[in-house]
Structure 1
């Protein structure tokens, strides 16, 4: 199962909210332990007002009907709110509603301990007057009790039982803390969390955005350095650990650039220095062949073969080292791609039937670099495969796509990402016996990159290899 990928900004914000939640729970637990808080605190706000209003509404409605209809009315309330309703007298005995058995923790709450004159008084039949705004709040409670545990809430009513003139209390029982929306409403809490999330995002956005933006830039720069762009540099304007990290990455890129430049310079110098002794050895071998005996001819031929292979390797080493400076040595020019591909085919595969589909496409690029890249790929295909095709097309984002396809042995899937590395040859399909040096596709990669493009390879269904070169239609000259 794939892991969920979250941006760094989201992770920081989520951890901040988790921290706030943990602190809130710890604070609530401490307050509850120190001040012995129960669930009554929930009735101090809107839920308490809601229950008090429900009690007033029930009092007003019940005072207009005989007591014989109160059970029916309570059942209607239960259907509306999804909560069990019952009326208890001030001695803790149930008077109306579906029979419920209060747990021992609830019984003390049912007794009306208001002093005489403060409780409900028997009144003549008629409408109940609205309670004044400055009237003291009626006693109410809420707790969790019983086995299985249920939520109990109650409020004393301005309602008396006519039989014995006892005050009544409305008791509500629910299996959930929400109580059908009477005790607890989820949406206000969701709105609170959403508001906290939004506010936190707005407060933290400048700080976190600065970090994530820098890391994104650092990641992109590191990717370009990994691709050989050692002149890439990162801003060191930050005065913190990230600023120190950017300084270290810049120093690393500079050292890598110097190291790679030295390696390339050594490669070019060694290849250049090898040209003269190889040439002298070839001249000496020619003299030896003229003066040698027939018995020596076989050995001299093998020596000549090895010497020619060494000469080709040195030549490709020189070509490989020169591709690094192609953008400085060449300037973009208008290229007729159809004519260029025909020229490459005539040079590299004059006797091989090759199917081409190359329309007229506008292209401004480095002619010699593209010529060398196409030549190396085609020479590689001719060496190992048959049924070769060359296709070119224009993509929607102003790029030219050139594909060289064959029906050869292909390469192992694990070798595809290494094909364009210097001196790499997949042993399953290619070896020194076939004449390759392992530099042809590496030169192709540098030539294509000099044209501002990229090259990749993939195996074809049914066998064979496809090399795809993606080149911009117009290459701006190097400054």
Structure 2
């Protein structure tokens, strides 16, 4: 199972690789820091393991003739320890304040050199700040008064413990953040493209399928979404084709019925039949328009919502219908202006038709923009507040299309609002009348 997980590009595999990469990057950065900074966390020289080598080298050089000591010191040098001999201590350029090492307290020195040697050691912190020679150095005085120095090659920045720990933690965090940033971008990019394509499909039902990319789990989600999208497009296409066929097939008998009604002698029955035929035709046209608009959604654009509402109200006022408006003079919103206009016009027409003193208001808070349409009419029975959004449901019992319509206005209005991520709701006002509330998500 583990082998399959790592052979296939999955989220688990990417998360595991991210953790491993972060650890490797952290270790690499710290290793580079150690390489560049040198030995910055070494113990005192008496605990470095070099004293035995220093003692042996000292005995060998001390036993040699004075003329050969410089040559022997050079020969004894190696990559881990540089040896130099000199007759004068000042020739080595050492700082003052080195730490004295008593051979009798160090078994190796006591055994090989005895107790009559002067040894002084210098740690990197003993050197002046930013000195290029800040090394560990051991200085040994020979019996004849000459001197030997032993210097490890590593350079130290002389960082204290707190600073060293802070540098290690900082490098680890930097490495982790860099790896996490790259990894999350690789994961987020296909998700962002998927989200954008899903939003595009919400506004354009004919949108192309989403490119399949990313880890296995994301690819499976995209495949499922593309399948769903294709099924929806097929269903809508079939529905539209079916409704168009039904409309075509119904119009022919309706036309024949209309022609036959012209030859009816009973004028009262003739008027009733013509009225029923026209109502059926109106219902067919309204249903077709309702379903066609579902497949051709308006593109979003920035517009002045307040100005749009005031323009609608002015159109009503031109017809002699006075509608009160409260709200800001201007409010820019990113949405579908024609759809919102259709919703508001539908709500205002209902308020004018069934109520008194219609009014409109534009309100907003941190999350929502709200359009309210109110009236002082009889309201709607509580049990019917949700049913009025059902297609073809009408409270008007007379079935008169001039007063009751065909029952698709509120259904279409709610569909338009929901397409923009909002909600349309109705409620009875406490003082009488109906309040229609359109809530739209506020632009960020």
The question of a shared fold, defined as TM-score above 0.5 by the shorter chain, is answered with no
> Which range, TM-score by smaller chain?
0.3 to 0.5
**TM-score, with structure 1 as normaliser:** 0.42
